[in-house]
Amino acid sequence: MKTKITGFAVVVAFLVFALTSCSKEQKLSKQLDGDWKAKYVVIAGLQVDIDTLNNFTGFPITSAFTLTFEKCQKPDKGCPGHYTLAGTQIPFTYTLDGEEMNILGALYHIDSIEDDRLTLSTSDGNGGTYQLIFIKL
């Protein structure tokens, strides 16, 4: 009798764990779900308001740029989303592999994600990197 109860407890514990746990990518996908507005860029350790940078250098992203990540069950296989710039929505599919995100062929590292702030880093094309900081809408 004691063996049956112990075996039953092990099975129940395993089922609870299996049903409540999910992959790192699924957790990140849930955190990404929603709309994110570009706010800052960090270059060489200096955080600058993205519109200020655009005004002075022509940096191609402004605060009108938003990323929208839709609910997704299999982020390692591809998830829907779109970005909006100048009122135009462009659909994309993104994938997650650990903390790496691929959007439209560009690779981004998810440096941090909080309730209302997302920080991504990517190559600047010249051997360096820069960060983009988004605020959740």
The tens-digit pLDDT sequence of the chain (137 residues) is 555 555 554 444 443 333 333 689 999 999 999 999 999 999 989 999 999 998 998 888 888 899 999 999 999 999 999 999 888 999 999 999 999 999 988 999 999 999 999 999 999 889 999 999 999 99
pTM for the full predicted model: 0.79
Spell out the domain ranges in the chain: 24-136
CATH number, span 24-136:
2.40.128.280
Transcribe 26-78 into DSSP letters. HHHHHHH-EEEEEEEEEETTEEEEHHHHHHHH--S--TT-EEEE---S-TTT-
| Tokens of residue 9, six digits | 């407890």
d(CA 103, CA 122): 11
Number of H helices and number of E strands within the chain?
3, 9
